[in-house]
Structure 1
Amino acid sequence: MNVLKPNQRATVYTLLERGSTQREIARITGVDRKTVRSYQRRRQAEQSNSPGVATGPDAMAAHVAAQIPPPWPPAPTSVAASLCEPYRDVIEAQLRLKRNATAIYQDLVDVHGFAGQYNSVKRFVARLRHKEPEQFDRLSFLPAEEMQVDYGEGAPTRVPGSDRYRKPRLFVATLRYSRASFRHVVWKSGQQVWAELHERAFRHFGGCPQYVVLDNLKEGVIKPDLYEPELNPVYAATLAHYGVVADPARVRDPNRKGTVEHAIGHTQATALKGRRFESIEEQNTFLAQWEKNWAAKRIHGTERRQVQAMFAEERPHLKALPLLGMQYFEEVQRTVCDDSCVRVEYSSYAARPAAIGSKVRVRIFAQRIQIFDLQTGTLLRSHPKAERPGTVVLPQDERVFNPSRETRLILRQASQIGEHAARLCQLLFAIEGRVGQRKLWGIVGLVRRYPAHCVNAACAQALEQGIYSFKRVQALTEALFADALEAIETQAGGEHVTPTTATLTQQHELIRDADEYGDLFAHAAATAAVGSQT
């Protein structure tokens, strides 16, 4: 038999005395019929074993009254003093140091000989410790001074190509002065998407604010820091293009951007709650219409003014938009290879003056490539983007010497020798191509041993003879040079040279006396002898 509580047992006995059936008692009390039957038998046995005991409703009431416990004694009017009261000053000093009740109890026992229990200290500390409400200043801003941005969740939207619904990311940008907002949903976020959403917001408002306050999400802030946060380079370049300064909120400080937090909650609870959309475009169209028809026309609860009217005041203060939009890029790090180039998308681009083996930062635009110094951020080079993979964008004057590719250099040096040498070298290259450049280098190298006019004259004779050969030019040059030397010697031997007698000067202010020179030589000899002995 299940044991019923006193109140349930009294209810069963009362209903039995009134003549209720077991089924009815089970329905009223929720007690199983078998249990009711057992208590009915028990009650009948008690009555049969106690003759002369009153029965009926009065007896049942007396039985129920006997089951009710007596009331609690009244609370004392005076509260006993706590054992911690003599140590109030010590405990208050410890509380000002942000110490907990356990540490305070341990110090009281060790230092002051406290004889009470820990719970006594705990209760006393709870009465002393009172939390002052934190005060928040009501921030006020000038028109076009600040815009707050953040992400939320949009309404469930059908995923393209499937029957599944998923919540996209809801981007909200709110002007702090007027509370006018721009709302847009996207499937995926990233560095460029985050920057593009800001650009859409600027275009929607028709101008740019001075500051933008954002959370420390990775799309905007790479490294959060209280003093010098590091921004995403694409995001930083976008804000610089529009003349806007980023002001990231401190970590775990959502109250700094409470305006956009409220705007996200208002959008989710009012505009998107309970809705589903078949496409992301449909949801963006709905958000634009809702902003225009309802959100912009509402009366703001704090300012007690219409948002649309406040935005009309703020819009003339927004900074003008640039004529051209932001040109987005991808930023990567590359190492300068041994040909002084960096590899970007299977093409090579000149990186000088960056040293070979150094790291550089490369920005990849749609139509151009920019190379920056990794440490100083200085722009080193800018190149048009190659149209096909494998292209080498390297000027000729920066290329290392290559004998099979320096035809123009050879021909320029040949033209410096003379007209005939330049003509002969051009004919040799035209006839033999790249292989003929070896002969060209030989002809040009003759000027290191023979006069240039001899080499040029030899090339003229080779042209007349129709022999286009380096050895022929070399032989003609040697012959011409030998003939020139012989002519000079013959001319010098046929002339009579009259000997001349030179008169030496014996007396001059710069000429010293012979004795002084003798003393100098003697002193030098003595010094040399002493040095050899040591």
Structure 2
Amino acid sequence: MNVLKQHLQATIFTLLERGASQRKIHEVTGIDRKTIRRYQSIFESQRVSDEANSSTAAPTDMAEPVGAQTPPPQTPPLSRPPASRIVAPVKPFNFARSASEPYREWIEQQIRLKRNAQAIYQDLVDQFGFTASYDSVKRFVRALRHVDPEQFDRLEFAPAEEAQVDYGEGAPTRDPRTGRYRRPRLFVMTLRYSRRSFRQVVWKSSKQVWAQLHEDAFRYFGGSVSYVVLDNLREGVITPDLYEPELNRLYAAMLEHYGVVADPARVRDPNRKGTVENAIQHTQNTALTGRRFESLEAQNEFLMHWEENWAARRIHGRARRQVEAMFQEEKPHLRPLPATAFRYFTEVVRTVWDDTTVSIERSNYAARPAPIGSLVSVRIYDTTIEIRDRRTQELLRTHPRHTQPGSLELPESERPFNPSRQTSLALASAGDIGQRTKALCQHLFDAEGRVGHRGMWGIVALAKKYPAWLVEQACDHALHHHLYRYRQVRTVVERLFEQALERLDRAPQLALPLTQEHPLIRPATEYSELFDAGAQHSATSRSSTTGETV
């Protein structure tokens, strides 16, 4: 027999107690009338037994007249219990005895051993000859199993101690590129003490956008906090870890500039930043639901207006205080903003070449004391270049940023002149082209050291595009006129190549006579006989295939 859930049973019994008909109960609950009729009979039998028990247990006092006994006043049942009162669970009516009831004590012991319903059912069949279905055991075990509700500790924070940040979804906004409506990303930072929030929507997120949104929030509040709690998204956290998370370099540098410490939440633990989670939900449900905007600027303007006029003036449900009043208490405790704004940069990893430099945007910068062949982190600012140790982030060198390709930032005193494996290989490849080419490459190494390796390899690579004798001739010309740069040698090679093409164009074109007779050329009659034999062979093959006679 199918059993209704407890809340449906309680609904039927409540309506029956109020005198509702079966038709009315069917309209309210949607339960079949046959089921309602069955529960009505159970309800009536239960009420009869309760009245019999109450009449039997009633005290009989002959000294007091019957008319003096007045029944206690009865209040009509409420449609729903008050919110402030703890509602006791509805006691289920014992209308269906489970087939597992005779084994209650044994099943309770198995539940305490943390065994599941499938294992209990199998042992009931093997040990006690249980004949009912597994579903009956599963329902019985579910009723016996007691699950404690999940509990959370409510934390309190000092003013300006913590802020929480996260992304959500904004209202549909018209995309200027496609003209269609789509949802942007909603950034929210909430101060944990006062619950004051900063909201802004953006189309795309990146490391720099994520950091800039934090800066905008700090300027909006008029100061920063001690630490910020964030989710483990890639813009902020590279490698999630409970004890030593690896933060994004740009994000960590921005927080360090404002004196803020990042505290990434545990993976899959949104309750650690429940304040900002509630703020996002409050924003979506109250401010943005049912709205559309024509631009991001319009939505950000609306969010700012809504925060100032409604969200900040609300009375917080748990604190029972106005958010704006709590923010005015918290504002003097915020950390003051630095005098200068944070300088954003792009970080790349480069290898230190054998000339002790790193290559950035087709220019070279000195990287000592970083060893040759090691990897270093390079931060590219608008006007400067910073070379740092990749492991410790210690600053090694600072250089002005060059915009012209081919620039070199390396003092003469730091240039290595001792030959390396690359030196020997470059000179050997130049020797394969010619002795003058090798002499020019040797002169480049003697004058510039290992920095000249690039020029040497450039001269060697010219032989892949132009004839080797032209490269050799150009190197001889360069040595004679003291031209020791790769670009100068390349210019000479290109000029010599153009001159060679011009000479070919001016050379007279000899018209070769058409040879009519030659020992290798057969007479025309033989070719005619060959063509006739081929045509006859083709006709014979076609007739044999189709079955026709020729």
**TM range, normalised to the smaller chain?**
0.5 to 0.7
User: Residue in 2 aligned with 1:225?
Assistant: 241
Report the Cα offset of residue 337 of structure 1: 1.6
User: Residue in 1 aligned with 2:169?
Assistant: 153
Give the SS at the match of 1:348. Answer: strand
Please tell me whether residue 187 in structure 1 is matched to residue 203 in structure 2: yes
- 1:152-301 matched pairs, under 5 angstroms: 152-301=168-317
User: Residue in 2 aligned with 1:115?
Assistant: 130
Query: Are the counterparts in 2 of residues 404 and 434 from structure 1 also a CA contact under 8 Å?
Result: no
Query: Are the counterparts in 1 of residues 172 and 183 from structure 2 also a CA contact under 8 Å?
Result: yes
CA 1:435–1:290: 2 relative to 1, 3 Å: closer
User: Residue in 2 aligned with 1:473?
Assistant: none
User: Residue in 1 aligned with 2:357?
Assistant: 341
Q: Deviations 1:414-443 (Å, cap 9, x if unpaired)?
A: xxxxxxxxxxxxxxxxxx99699xxxxxxx
CA 1:304–1:363: 2 relative to 1, 3 Å: same
User: Could you tell me how far apart the structure 1 residues matched to 2:166 and 2:393 are?
Assistant: 29
User: Could you tell me how far apart the structure 1 residues matched to 2:344 and 2:149 are?
Assistant: 47
TM-score, normalisation: structure 2: 0.57
User: Could you tell me how far apart the structure 1 residues matched to 2:144 and 2:38 are?
Assistant: 30
User: Could you tell me how far apart the structure 2 residues matched to 1:177 and 1:324 are?
Assistant: 27
User: Could you tell me how far apart the structure 2 residues matched to 1:368 and 1:96 are?
Assistant: 68
User: Could you tell me how far apart the structure 1 residues matched to 2:98 and 2:209 are?
Assistant: 64
- 1:45-444 matched pairs, under 5 angstroms: 84=100, 88=104, 91-109=107-125, 112-117=127-132, 118-401=134-417
When the two chains are superposed, the root-mean-square deviation of aligned CA atoms in Å is: 3.0
User: Could you tell me how far apart the structure 1 residues matched to 2:352 and 2:120 are?
Assistant: 64
Report the Cα offset of residue 162 of structure 1: 4.4
User: Could you tell me how far apart the structure 2 residues matched to 1:171 and 1:397 are?
Assistant: 51
User: Could you tell me how far apart the structure 1 residues matched to 2:110 and 2:341 are?
Assistant: 60
User: Could you tell me how far apart the structure 1 residues matched to 2:108 and 2:218 are?
Assistant: 55
Structure 1 unaligned segments of length 5 or more: list them: 1-67, 410-431, 437-534
Give the SS at the match of 1:343. Answer: strand
User: Could you tell me how far apart the structure 1 residues matched to 2:483 and 2:136 are?
Assistant: 104
CA 1:88–1:350: 2 relative to 1, 3 Å: farther
Q: Deviations 1:90-148 (Å, cap 9, x if unpaired)?
A: 544543454321123234455x4553443343232122112221122222111111111
Q: Give the total of aligned pairs.
A: 345
Give the SS at the match of 1:258. Answer: helix
Give the SS at the match of 1:216. Answer: coil
Matched letter for residue 290 of structure 2: G
Give the SS at the match of 2:165. Answer: strand
Percentage identity across paired residues of the two chains: 64
Give the SS at the match of 2:219. Answer: helix
CA 1:98–1:372: 2 relative to 1, 3 Å: farther
Q: Which has the larger radius of gyration?
A: 1
CA 1:132–1:397: 2 relative to 1, 3 Å: same
User: Could you tell me how far apart the structure 1 residues matched to 2:169 and 2:483 are?
Assistant: 70
Q: Deviations 1:8-58 (Å, cap 9, x if unpaired)?
A: xxxxxxxxxxxxxxxxxxxxxxxxxxxxxxxxxxxxxxxxxxxxxxxxxxx
Matched letter for residue 115 of structure 1: F
User: Could you tell me how far apart the structure 1 residues matched to 2:291 and 2:136 are?
Assistant: 56
CA 1:334–1:88: 2 relative to 1, 3 Å: farther
TM-score, normalisation: structure 1: 0.59
CA 1:291–1:81: 2 relative to 1, 3 Å: closer
CA 1:94–1:239: 2 relative to 1, 3 Å: farther
CA 1:120–1:268: 2 relative to 1, 3 Å: closer
User: Could you tell me how far apart the structure 2 residues matched to 1:90 and 1:366 are?
Assistant: 76
Query: Are the counterparts in 1 of residues 415 and 448 from structure 2 also a CA contact under 8 Å?
Result: no
User: Could you tell me how far apart the structure 2 residues matched to 1:339 and 1:131 are?
Assistant: 69
CA 1:366–1:92: 2 relative to 1, 3 Å: farther
CA 1:380–1:87: 2 relative to 1, 3 Å: farther
- 1:430-469 matched pairs, under 5 angstroms: none
CA 1:306–1:86: 2 relative to 1, 3 Å: same
Report the Cα offset of residue 315 of structure 1: 0.4
Report the Cα offset of residue 278 of structure 1: 2.1
User: Residue in 1 aligned with 2:530?
Assistant: none
User: Could you tell me how far apart the structure 2 residues matched to 1:271 and 1:72 are?
Assistant: 49
Query: Are the counterparts in 2 of residues 148 and 260 from structure 1 also a CA contact under 8 Å?
Result: yes
Structure 2 unaligned segments of length 5 or more: list them: 1-33, 47-93, 418-441, 450-479, 485-550
Matched letter for residue 294 of structure 1: W
